[in-house]
């Protein structure tokens, strides 16, 4: 499953062509998202851990000449369970990432993006791990963002994240 997700994230950007920036969009945008996270163990064993609740805040800068953006992201992932870092109760992960996305059909009613983030995840506020997050998603009406991301890291808990959020700012410049 890990290889399948890696191939999906690696080759999806290659299957489309680069686009010229046709619509001018607002430079600064933010988003707030809520969703679910699934440990990698859940892919193979449905009894392994539970589904986590995920919330995120993101602030991005849209480049004018190319359909790309860069930004910072903060995520909070909370789950109950019997995992090695949970101590038998709740596990709270806080993640800080530098992110970048390439946008397709930016400014249209439905647009797509692929991107990645690099940062650190803090488990129960005392254990820090480096992490990498490839992601892709869709934005509807320049406001509603549906995102799928896969958080990976060396000796870290790999999770698949599905979120639904609201973008503030961005969109077509009037």
Mean pLDDT of 8-21: 52
Q: With pLDDT > 90 as the criterion, what percentage of the chain qualifies?
A: 40
Mean pLDDT of 32-52: 70
Can you give the C-alpha Rg of the chain in angstroms? 17
Is it the case that residue 38 has pLDDT exceeding 70? yes
pLDDT greater at residue 37 or residue 123:
37
pLDDT tens-digit readout, 111-124? 999 999 999 988 76
pLDDT at residue 11, as a whole number: 54
Q: Across the chain, what does the average pLDDT equal?
A: 79
Distance CA 111, CA 67 (A): 11
pLDDT confidence bin for 22, thresholds 50/70/90 = low
Distance CA 49, CA 72 (A): 29
Q: Residue 22: how many CB atoms within 10 A of its CB?
A: 10
In 8-143 the beta strands, taken as DSSP E runs, fall at: 28-39, 52-62, 68-80, 90-104, 110-123, 127-140
Which residue ranges make up each domain of the chain?
Answer: 2-15+23-169
pLDDT confidence bin for 52, thresholds 50/70/90 = confident
Domain covering 2-15+23-169: architecture = Beta Barrel (2.40)
pLDDT at residue 112, as a whole number: 94
| Structure-token pair, residue 66 | 């190319």
Q: With pLDDT > 70 as the criterion, what percentage of the chain qualifies?
A: 68
pTM of the model: 0.76
pLDDT tens-digit readout, 58-80? 999 999 888 999 999 999 988 76
pLDDT greater at residue 42 or residue 117:
117
Q: Determine contact, residues 10/3, Cβ cutoff 8 Å.
A: no
């Amino acid at each position: 499953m890990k290889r399948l997700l890696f191939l999906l994230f690696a080759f999806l950007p290659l299957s489309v062509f680069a686009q010229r920036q046709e619509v001018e969009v607002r430079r600064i945008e933010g988003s707030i998202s809520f969703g679910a996270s699934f440990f990698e163990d859940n892919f193979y064993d449905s009894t392994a851990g539970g589904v986590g609740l995920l919330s995120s805040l993101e602030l991005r800068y849209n480049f004018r000449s190319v359909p790309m953006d860069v930004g910072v992201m903060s995520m909070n992932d909370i789950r109950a369970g019997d995992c090695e870092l949970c101590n038998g109760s709740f596990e709270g992960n806080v993640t800080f990432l530098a992110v970048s996305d390439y946008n397709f059909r930016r400014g249209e009613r439905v647009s797509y993006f692929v991107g990645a983030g690099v940062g650190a995840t803090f488990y129960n506020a005392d254990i820090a791990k480096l992490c990498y997050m490839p992601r892709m998603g869709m934005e509807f009406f320049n406001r509603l963002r549906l995102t799928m991301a896969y958080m990976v890291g060396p000796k870290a808990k790999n999770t698949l994240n599905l979120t639904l959020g609201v973008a503030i700012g961005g969109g077509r410049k009037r």
